[in-house]
Amino acid sequence: MPNRRRLFLLLTTASLLSAAGRRLASAQASAGRASEFVKSLGDRLVAVVNGPGSDREKREKLTQIIDSGVDVDAVARFCLGRFWRNASSDQQKRYTELFHLVLVNNITSKLGDYQGVRFTMGRAQQRDDTDVVSAVVERPNNPPTNVDWVISNASGSPKVIDVVAEGTSLRLTQRQDYASYLSRNNNNIDALINAMRQQVAQAG
């Protein structure tokens, strides 16, 4: 009897351990993939930013990289928060389209500031159902910044869903900016859409 119990215990422990091992291994593989993805994305971004070409060409290349590397639709939905549900499908569509343009503009308007940018990869961890890859971004005239790239596989392939710079989440900040704008404009989503359209028009 004690022997059998011991055997049972041993088997259970072994199976538990191997399950934990498999989970760890799969988490490791997932974090590893996310890390590779961020590395290649970062390399492509740096190559465009520091590379030759006019601002217009760079803008086009960056748009391609953003569209392939960022789950822009998911980020747009997150940024509208509780207002997404109240929006009509037409509003949702117009908002998402504008959000794409605003995002590209915001990134390309900083091209000059990021001239000479360098980044160093850090560690990757799994957090909830996302992978978080850390990197240190260094640009001239500015102190080095710790940037966490939050990667989700929800769309089938790894995509960026958030960038957290020194503990501040870009998408959360954007969501609170929009929420505040909406609450000062009678929660009118069309007002937000108009403001975004104006932003895009100003950026040319």
Partner 1 sequence: MRTVIRCHLLVITAVLLASVGGCATPPPADDPDAVADFKETNDPIEPTNRVMYAFNNGIDTVLLRPAAKAYRFVLPSPVRSGIHNALSNLGTPVQLGNDMLEGKPRRAGDTTMRFMINTTVGVLGLFDVVKGWGYPDHDADFGLTLALWGLPDGPFLFLPVFGPSGPRDAVGLGVNAAMDPFTWVGQGAAVRALNWSRVGLNALDQRERHLDDIESIKATALDPYATFRSLYRQHRQAQIEDLRKDKRATIPVWFPQSGAPDTVIYSPAESPVH
Binding positions for partner 1, rule: CB under 8 A: 24, 27-28, 31-32, 35, 39, 81-82, 102, 106, 109-110, 113, 121-126, 140-143, 166-169, 172-173, 176-181, 183-184, 187, 192, 195-196, 199
Nearer CB in complex with partner 1: 27/65: 27
* In the complex, minimum distance from the CB of residue 3 to partner 1, in angstroms, rounded to a whole number: 33
Task: Determine phi and psi for 101, rounding to 5 degrees.
Answer: -65, -45
* CA dist., res. 119 & res. 135, Å (int): 7
Residues in the chain: 204
**Residue type, position 100, single letter:** H
* CA dist., res. 149 & res. 171, Å (int): 12
Cα 130 to chain centroid, rounded: 10
Residue 85: in which H helix or E strand, if any?
A: helix 83-86
* In the complex, minimum distance from the CB of residue 48 to partner 1, in angstroms, rounded to a whole number: 18
* CA dist., res. 146 & res. 192, Å (int): 31
What helix, strand, coil percent values describe the chain, rounded to 5? Answer: 60, 20, 20
* In the complex, minimum distance from the CB of residue 40 to partner 1, in angstroms, rounded to a whole number: 12
* In the complex, minimum distance from the CB of residue 43 to partner 1, in angstroms, rounded to a whole number: 13
Question: What are the b/e assignments for 67-82, b being 16+ CB within 10 Å?
Answer: eebbbbebbbebbbee
* In the complex, minimum distance from the CB of residue 6 to partner 1, in angstroms, rounded to a whole number: 28
* In the complex, minimum distance from the CB of residue 11 to partner 1, in angstroms, rounded to a whole number: 24
CB neighbourhood size of 10 (10 A)? 10
Nearer CB in complex with partner 1: 13/115: 115
Nearer CB in complex with partner 1: 27/74: 27
Nearer CB in complex with partner 1: 2/167: 167
Nearer CB in complex with partner 1: 110/118: 110
Nearer CB in complex with partner 1: 132/160: 132
Cβ contact 98:197 at 8 Å: yes
